[in-house]
Amino acid sequence: MICRCGQSQITAKHVIFATGYETQQYKRERGAELTSSYVIVTEPLKDLQDWYEQCLIWETARPYHYLRTTRDGRIIAGGLDEPLPGGRLVEGRYLAKSKQLLDYVHQMFPRSTALQAEYSWGAVFGHTHDGLPYIGTHPDYPHCYFLEGYGGNGTACSTIAAEMITDIISGVERPDIQMFSLTRSPHPPPKHH
């Protein structure tokens, strides 16, 4: 493959797209849905005794919340995902969402109503209809490999993808890569009643 960047030209036998959600811009069939997700990190708490074993909490409700603690005694609270209008994060939207997340923390831990958020963010989050990543080649892009980890296990998917693509380029057969084919239908199968 030949890539022309300004005055320079790079020639490569293989190209691996490992550019996260940005990869959606480079190919016609995007395959994943992008949403926005929000998160806050509170100031450290002196006492987290109210929280049994400080276990990870993750709701299955939609929109969902998740809660976990940090080693220095802070609470990370996130979720409240919503559609991404126009494919971009809305500037300042995280301010309203971080207030909702803090209210949720106060509701869960009524003895900590003075607790404030020290950090807050909005982020783009991507997921596929079947929860699987897209890993491998695409017929429209010869000699290219795509590494697209999506969903709440995206970091694990990206690690698996890195191993698979390395194997294939090194000549090791990986028939299991078919599960993650870029040409599988991006839509859920129709529901039969």
Ligand X SMILES: Cc1cc2nc3c(=O)[nH]c(=O)nc-3n(C[C@H](O)[C@H](O)[C@H](O)COP(=O)(O)OP(=O)(O)OC[C@H]3O[C@@H](n4cnc5c(N)ncnc54)[C@H](O)[C@@H]3O)c2cc1C
Please give the residue ranges that form the binding site for ligand X (CB under 6 A).
Answer: 18-20, 22, 37, 39, 123, 125, 147, 149-150, 152-156, 158
Diameter of the chain by CA atoms? 62
- Return the number of the residue (45 or 122) whose C-beta is nearest ligand X: 122
Cα–Cα distance measured from residue 135 to residue 137, given in angstroms and rounded to the nearest whole number: 7
CB 124 within 8 A of CB 87: no
Q: Identify which of 145, 123, 111, 129 has the alpha carbon closest to the alpha carbon of residue 186.
A: 129
C-beta closer to ligand X: residue 39 or 40:
39
Could you give the C-alpha distances from 8 to 13, 16, 32, 45, 177, in angstroms and in order? 17, 19, 33, 54, 34
Task: For ligand X, give the closer residue by CB, 44 or 152.
Answer: 152
The residue among 45 and 89 lying less far from ligand X, judged by its C-beta, is: 89
- CB 148 to ligand X: min, Å: 6
Q: Which is nearer to ligand X, 158 or 181 (CB)?
A: 158
Contacts of 183 (CB under 8 A, 6+ apart): 29, 138, 139
Task: Compute the least distance from the CB of residue 116 to ligand X, in Å.
Answer: 21
The residue number with the shortest CB distance to ligand X is 154
Give, in order, the Cα–Cα distances in Å from 84 to each of 47, 57, 124. 37, 25, 8
Shortest distance, position 126 Cβ to ligand X, whole Å = 7
CB count, 10 Å around CB of 121? 14
* Least gap, CB of 51 to ligand X (angstroms): 19
Nearest distance from C-beta of residue 176 to ligand X, angstroms? 18
